[in-house]
Amino acid sequence: DAGVIQSPRHEVTEMGQEVTLRCKPISGHNSLFWYRQTMMRGLELLIYFNNNVPIDDSGMPEDRFSAKMPNASFSTLKIQPSEPRDSAVYFCASSSQGREQFFGPGTRLTVL
Amino acid sequence: RKEVEQDPGPFNVPEGATVAFNCTYSNSASQSFFWYRQDCRKEPKLLMSVYSSGNEDGRFTAQLNRASQYISLLIRDSKLSDSATYLCVVNRDGGYNKLIFGAGTRLAVHP
């Protein structure tokens, strides 16, 4: 199995631009998670989906952030407009039936 | 106060040493506990779950003290390949879903 796939691996953009991060979970997994990791705040859960339905988005920092999961094999995390404080590594993870979460390699986002 | 607190380290130890990491959590409703390992510029990976009775996996031993809300990880006979950041993780809903990560403890094992 290829594991969790994320794209792009690196993204550099300017303040005010829209950023879209993509994730393909492990085939057969029914839960998908988006995390953000920074030096200051560590690893934080932003939102998670069960069976493509958002269950808990209490970690989403503000309205500039949105996430979708249109089908079982694809999810996006969008930031519009982006700000320098959004610079972080964004991880996607997936799991099956509430078991161990497997993380993707992450997207390193830099907002100038 | 953070929900999961860890000593950030770094812990610098020679090969073969025994090293212990501690972690405290503030939410007494937490039900599941884990140690994750994260190598530099890589994703976190599950190292081991932590059970009330304590559990061992090779050179790694995890302990949980619910009364004190305290979790520990002991690494015996350290290897160079153990160098990483170790993340203490708790979960509130009894499963694996809503994980709360500590900031991590950095370990550097030297020859």
Question: Would you state the pLDDT for residue B95?
Answer: 58
Residue among B98, B102, B103 minimizing CB distance to A45? B98
Cβ–Cβ gap B97/A43 under 8 Å: no
Query: Predicted confidence band at A1 (pLDDT cuts at 50, 70, 90)?
Result: low
Kindly report the length of chain B. Answer: 111
User: From CA B100, how far away is CA A86, in angstroms rounded?
Assistant: 20
Please choose, from the candidates B101, B5, B111, the residue with its C-alpha nearest in 3D space to the C-alpha of residue B47: B101
Q: What is the mean pLDDT of residues B32-37?
A: 93
Residue numbers in A near B40 (CB within 8 A): none
Question: Would you state the pLDDT for residue B96?
Answer: 60
Q: Does B98 touch chain A (CB under 8 A)?
A: yes
Q: What is the mean pLDDT of residues A78-104?
A: 94
What are φ and ψ of residue B82, in 5° steps? -80, -10
Could you read off the pLDDT of B58-96 as tens digits, one per residue?
999 999 999 999 999 999 999 999 999 999 999 876 556
Q: Does A106 touch chain B (CB under 8 A)?
A: yes
Query: Predicted confidence band at A91 (pLDDT cuts at 50, 70, 90)?
Result: very high
Query: Predicted confidence band at A98 (pLDDT cuts at 50, 70, 90)?
Result: confident
> How many C-beta atoms surround the C-beta of residue B9 within 10 A?
15
Beta strands in A1-112 (DSSP E): 5-7, 10-13, 19-24, 31-38, 42-50, 53-56, 65-71, 74-79, 88-95, 102-103, 107-111
Question: Would you state the pLDDT for residue A49?
Answer: 94
Could you read off the pLDDT of B44-63 as tens digits, one per residue?
999 999 988 889 999 999 99
Residue numbers in B near A105 (CB within 8 A): 42-43
Question: Would you state the pLDDT for residue B9?
Answer: 86
User: From CA B85, how far away is CA B106, in angstroms rounded?
Assistant: 4
Question: Would you state the pLDDT for residue B54?
Answer: 86
Q: What is the mean pLDDT of residues A37-55?
A: 93
- With a cut of 90, say whether residue A43 has pLDDT above it: yes
Could you read off the pLDDT of B1-28 as tens digits, one per residue?
788 999 888 999 999 999 999 999 998 8
- With a cut of 90, say whether residue B97 has pLDDT above it: no
Stronger pLDDT, B53 or B34, i.e. the higher one: B34
